[in-house]
Structure 1
Amino acid sequence: MQQQRTKPNPIDELRPRIRTRLEEATELLLCLDFDGTLAPIVDDPDEAAPTRAVSNVLEKITDEPDVTTAIVSGRGLADVRERVDGPRIYAGNHGLELERGDSVAVHPIARKRAARVDAVCEALEIALDPVPNARVENKRLTATVHYRSVPEPARPQVERLTRETVSRFGGEGLELSTGKAILEIGPSIDWGKGNAVGMLVADRSDGTVPIYIGDDVTDESAFRTVEPRGVGVRVGDDAPTAASGRVRSPEQVASLLEWFATTGVERVRNGPVP
């Protein structure tokens, strides 16, 4: 049964619960979205970068032996790998690509349907060319249509043309989903960030506490995966979500990561505090 969405609590209200979880833990699994979480949302996705505070604290926490860090992004694996350095694990294309150590696994059905994604992107480049500032990003296994900078009156046209093109060239093999001023195109399979995070959780010991921090619709499956054994943290407003906690911005994400790097790691390392 799918977990019901409720309004998330400010993260400060959850700290006692998190402390208790960590005192009983043998390890912390820290899974992080990229855009809107580690990096502020920007008009040009090529310009996205982690804040300085995030980069500094990631450098600190990725060196901790009791913490495994993972980046779980909608971006292609190679793209996100270049934008943030240090974590042990990377999942790209919403978990369709998973890099652990020297091994990279790609979902076999997504690999087979990459040619359809290419065909859709080629058609969309032509169809959306007249629309100011519409952008098609081909990520090989998936694609994203960006319309954040498109004039408001033209946005329905972007959605209509995208839906028509995906239906014509992707058939039943591809599907369309929505995000924050984006349209996501990918293989129509039951797989998402939550599945990738589930694999990471299954790899760890029973004493591992999983944390997932993200900001968009595609992060909801990951929130459901870590709750209630661990904690999901939504970045943004207090709209209903499967995450139990909330921070407002990447700046607050940096503060939360600093807490995990100090107080959180201490709790894991020392066990129950009298």
Structure 2
Amino acid sequence: MTAADAAVEAVATTEALLVALDFDGTLSPLVDEPMSARMTPDARAVLDELAGLPSTTVALVSGRTLADLRVIAEHDDSSSWWLMGSHGAESWEPGAGAVDVGDDPDDRALRDRLTAAIRDAVADLPGVRVEPKEFGLGLHTRTADAETARAAQEATDGILAAEAPSWRRRTGHDILEFSFRHEGKDSAVAHLRERLGASAVLFAGDDVTDEDALRSLGAGDLGVRIGGGETAATLRVDDIAAFVTVLEQIARLRRAHTG
């Protein structure tokens, strides 16, 4: 048995399992229009199956704002899935709903001013879009050519370095993000683990920001990386369909284990 096979079996048979997953690129294909993203039918089916098993919790852990994550995940108030939005700075709990995070109005005023300034700075660059976020902003360059994307990123970096040097900077697939909140997916997973009393965690992601959580996993946990790139994950799969196969294997083993 390989180390990856052993890790799959270990999480499938643990006492209390937390399945915490990134969304974009992990459950849903990456798309040019971010709000059109939807998880694949097979991914939804296996997550619904896992969420219905004893002592098993499903959570989505995303850089998306909580409001946007609920839309793209087609998540309603009756759902048993937990949500961690904005890299863990926002949360939604079954039965309780969204948790109030309260922030300094000055931070939000600065966010609005910087968002407007960056929009002005990149207004003439084709294929570039600025996204307001709950605690900051994102610069999308998926539909821009490489030279244009580089120019937009340099302009954005310059404005943030001058106006908000303490904000957290993150890079991802064709996105540059800045936030005045410093939570990461590692702290989001740690919060969920403690809150739920999970004895093991399965975390999966496809991007640089997911590595914070993957590096935080311990013995008995399983980290999965979808696609290429350097990773701390135990297991790497080629694409979403291959990851769904792993989830289906875990569901079969866990169903047999929990009886």
Q: State the 1:198 CA deviation.
A: 0.2
Q: Which runs of 5+ in 2 are unaligned?
A: none
152 and 47 in structure 1: CA distance in 2 versus 1, 3 angstrom threshold? same
1:184 corresponds to which residue? 177
Select the residue among 220, 226, 231 that pairs with 1:229: 220
State yes or no: 1:196 paired with 2:188.
yes
3-state SS of 1:177 partner: strand
Q: State the 1:265 CA deviation.
A: 3.4
CA contact (8 A) 1:94 1:193 kept: yes
Q: State the 1:80 CA deviation.
A: 0.8
Q: State the 1:195 CA deviation.
A: 0.2
TM-score w.r.t. the length of structure 1 is: 0.84
234 and 226 in structure 1: CA distance in 2 versus 1, 3 angstrom threshold? same
Structure 2 residue identity aligned to 1:234: R
CA contact (8 A) 2:130 2:138 kept: yes
TM-score w.r.t. the length of structure 2 is: 0.89
Q: State the 1:134 CA deviation.
A: 0.2
119 and 87 in structure 1: CA distance in 2 versus 1, 3 angstrom threshold? farther
Structure 2 residue identity aligned to 1:166: L
Select the residue among 235, 249, 256 that pairs with 1:259: 249
CA contact (8 A) 1:39 1:48 kept: yes
1:133 corresponds to which residue? 127
What is the distance in 1 between the residues matched to 2:254 and 2:244?
14
For 1:155-203, what per-residue CA distance to the aligned partner results, in whole angstroms no more than 9, with x for missing partners? 221111111222233x2342322111110111263x2011011011112
2:207 corresponds to which residue? 216
What is the distance in 2 between the residues matched to 1:20 and 1:177?
32
Q: State the 1:54 CA deviation.
A: 1.1
3-state SS of 2:99 partner: strand
User: What are the equivalent positions in structure 2 for 1:151-170 lying under 5 Å apart?
Assistant: 151-169=145-163
The 4+ residue runs of structure 1 with deviation greater than 6 A are none
CA contact (8 A) 2:171 2:177 kept: yes
Q: Which runs of 5+ in 1 are unaligned?
A: 1-11
What is the distance in 2 between the residues matched to 1:111 and 1:68?
35
1:246 corresponds to which residue? 236
Q: State the 1:103 CA deviation.
A: 4.5
CA contact (8 A) 2:7 2:221 kept: no
Q: More relative contact order in 1 or in 2 (CA 8 Å, sep 6+)?
A: 1
1:5 corresponds to which residue? none
Q: Report the number of matched residues.
A: 253
1:14 corresponds to which residue? 4
What is the distance in 2 between the residues matched to 1:66 and 1:110?
38
